Structure 1
Amino acid sequence: MALTAVVSAVGLVVDDRVLAGAPIWFKPFKFSVSFVAYCLSLAWMLSLLPRGRRAGWWAGTVVALTSLVEMVIITGQVVRGKRSHFNYATPLDGALFNAMAVAVVVLWLGTLAVAVLLLRARIADRPSAWAMRSGIVLALAGAGVGFLMTRPAPGQRRGVSEVVGAHSVGVPDGGPSMPLTGWSTTGGDLRIPHFVGMHALQLLPLLVMVLTVLAPRFARLADDRTRLRLVQLASGTYAAVFALVLWQALRGQPLIHPDAPTLGAAGAILAAAALGTYGSLRAAAPSPRGATDAEETPAPKDLVA
């Protein structure tokens, strides 16, 4: 998959073809980079399992192989100049997309097996355990959003339409989009919650690493309980953001044009996160500098000379 990322990057430079409103090599590049990050994250998590490593190895291998199958099909369709997703233009195109759909289901089940192992494992470092478990559950939810994209969009009919399914909601695929991401600027886009959910697998463990690095420099973060509270808060906030962008996409609303309910929900999430962070750090406030237990606790009168 790292190789397909390199090939796709070269394709972006030397091949000027456009498909569905985007450079034709952009999709395999995005998918290959995402799969590399996804598989490396799972491999790191599986390395921390105290038991069940053999089962974890098999589950991880299934995820890696099904990811590879999907990348081979996506890249092959690019070489042919064809859409890889939702394409039923010919029997071959339909068979390739159905094969990808099966691969995605198997990949999801493999990730579910890893999640079960992580949820049952006894991991000594509680912040890391919480981040990994929350991250993989959110990744499963984010991957599950992909199944919503396979539903026929308005006007599409299986057996009749060449394209059945869409990632945009309320507008056709391939319209005006954001730079780099390609997310729709005129309608909802299910790729947004898909992206947010799946990358919890990297971002929540990354937060733990950052807190661990900062702990020696900041007394409030030295306490394992404080770091755990912050990770729990981050996990809850991340889940709320995922739910918000999913709700926004399903209503056919572009990410960059939120309405009043969306802004209100976002404000509530931000306020809760800020208050939660303040409360977590406040509870861990260190004793005044130079103060000792003896200084803070008055001595009994009968022991005073």
Structure 2
Amino acid sequence: MDRVGYAIGGVLFLSGLVHLVVLLVTGGTWLGPLSMRKPLTFGVSFGLTVGAAVWATSFLRIKPGLRTVLLSVLAAASIVEVSLITVQAWRGRPSHFNFETPLDSAISTTLASGGFVLIAVIIGFTVAAFRTVQTRSMQLALRFGFAALVVALAIGAAMIATGVPEARSGNATVAYLTAGALKPAHAVPMHAILIMPGFAWLLGRTRWPEPTQVLLTRIAAAGYGLLIAGTIAYFAVWTT
């Protein structure tokens, strides 16, 4: 499953880069729900997340069969999310909060449902992370990374929960503005699953003693946690 997972992550990441080229060549807008920026950012983000999840879960104390199932669901849901967002971008239709036609409604509903599937999968990995015994620095990094990913997906769910009622009421513009304000709070914690275990792994390649590695990992986790809290607090202030 690892090779397949890395391949899927690579393809999703590459799809994002392709849309970066499209944006640069066509001079298209970077703003708004119809921008090619959406398949760009979702492709890159999901590609990194799938690849990071495959790598990070290799450190977890989890049954191989269960890990394979969870990674398979994560990969499948990620493919669906990126594919539907890409299709809508090329159709010139908003991918989220769009209920104008039966097809648009089905796509928006599928995207929202996929988000909740992803939350369930990541919660499963997070539980495993808190049962895993590794070096103290890697153990902390894994727990922080998966917990932060749960936070990111929960914020994504909040974006859907706040935007869908507005869109169904005919206030699509309000839906995009309200949900869009949460984008930084959603994006910042998402990639902790790559950054924190990666940082701990690099520390493990040094000759520094374990207490030093643990201290540095704690400092990094505290700093990252403050950054996450800051982006969430900014949204809370912005919406009041």
Given the two structures, how large is their TM-score scaled by the length of structure 2?
A: 0.84
Q: Which of 132, 140, 149 is the equivalent residue of 2:150? A: 140
- Determine if contact 1:86/1:164 at 8 Å carries over to the other structure: no
> After superposition, where does 1:30-41 map in structure 2 within 5 Å?
30-41=41-52
- Determine if contact 2:61/2:132 at 8 Å carries over to the other structure: yes
The equivalent residue for 1:193 is 185
- Determine if contact 2:84/2:95 at 8 Å carries over to the other structure: yes
Distance 1:6 1:242, change over 3 A: closer
SS where residue 127 of structure 1 aligns?
helix
Counting aligned pairs with the same residue, the percent is 26
Is 1:117 matched with 2:128? Answer: yes
What is the aligned residue count? 227
Q: CA-to-partner distance for each residue in 1:33-75, whole Å, 9 max, x for gaps?
A: 1111111111112222344121111111111110100111101
Give 1:128 shift: 0.9
Between 156-165 and 109-118, report the one with greater CA deviation.
156-165
- Determine if contact 1:2/1:36 at 8 Å carries over to the other structure: yes
> After superposition, where does 1:209-288 map in structure 2 within 5 Å?
209-213=201-205, 215-216=206-207, 222-252=208-238
- Determine if contact 1:12/1:23 at 8 Å carries over to the other structure: no
- Determine if contact 1:142/1:197 at 8 Å carries over to the other structure: yes
Give 1:163 shift: 5.5
Residues in 1 aligned to 2:209 and 2:182: alpha-carbon distance in whole angstroms: 39
Q: In structure 1, what residue type is equivalent to 2:170? A: V
Residues in 2 aligned to 1:157 and 1:9: alpha-carbon distance in whole angstroms: 28
Given the two structures, how large is their TM-score scaled by the length of structure 1?
A: 0.67
Q: CA-to-partner distance for each residue in 1:161-218, whole Å, 9 max, x for gaps?
A: 445733547xxx6xxxxxxxxxxxxxxx2111111111111111222134334x33xx
The equivalent residue for 1:5 is 16
The equivalent residue for 2:200 is 208
Give 1:159 shift: 4.4
- Determine if contact 2:23/2:29 at 8 Å carries over to the other structure: no
- Determine if contact 2:30/2:37 at 8 Å carries over to the other structure: no
CA RMSD of aligned residues (A): 2.5
Q: In structure 1, what residue type is equivalent to 2:119? A: W
Distance 1:78 1:15, change over 3 A: farther
> After superposition, where does 1:14-93 map in structure 2 within 5 Å?
14-18=25-29, 20-21=31-32, 24-93=35-104
Distance 1:66 1:157, change over 3 A: closer
The higher radius of gyration belongs to 1
Q: CA-to-partner distance for each residue in 1:118-147, whole Å, 9 max, x for gaps?
A: 221222x22111101111101110111112
Flag the structure with higher helix content: 2
The equivalent residue for 2:110 is 99
Unaligned runs of 5+ in 2: 1-11
- Determine if contact 2:42/2:82 at 8 Å carries over to the other structure: yes
Residues in 1 aligned to 2:23 and 2:127: alpha-carbon distance in whole angstroms: 39
Is 1:108 matched with 2:119? Answer: yes
Distance 1:88 1:250, change over 3 A: farther
The equivalent residue for 1:291 is none
Q: Which has the higher contact order (CA 8 A, sep 6+)?
A: 2
Unaligned runs of 5+ in 1: 174-188, 217-221, 254-305
